[in-house]
Amino acid sequence: MRAAPEDLQAAVRALRAGELVAFPTETVYGLGADARNPAAVRRIFTVKGRPARHPVIVHLSDASQLGEWTREVPPAARRLAEQF
């Protein structure tokens, strides 16, 4: 199922405003926030009742963003990320 352009624009506005958005995955609906916004990320933990020791997933648009989020990327992992 593809989102309508106006729905995507609304989601982008919500994320930029520090709000949460729900999105479908292969198996469940996910709850997302701007990963660069600490208050929004905390809100995910609060809303889900998620323990602080359970990290969340950060979705990247491509492998070039790995360096912004990791200290080290093993060569095999980088090759895999670049393939997809």
The whole model's pTM is what?
A: 0.80
Verify that 46 and 80 share a domain, yes or no: no
Q: Would the pLDDT of 84 be above 90?
A: no
Note whether 5 and 34 are same-domain residues. yes
56 has pLDDT over 80: yes
Number of domains observed in the structure of the chain: 2
* Residues 35 and 10 occupy one common structural domain: yes
49 and 63 in a common domain? no
- Determine the pLDDT at residue 53: 95
Asked if 47 and 17 sit in the same domain, the reply is yes
Alpha carbon distances (Å) from 52 to 27, 29, 30, 76: 24, 20, 18, 29
Residue type, 73: V
- What was the pLDDT predicted at 6? 95
The model's confidence at residue 45, banded by pLDDT at 50, 70 and 90, is very high
Segments forming the whole domain that contains residue 66: 59-84
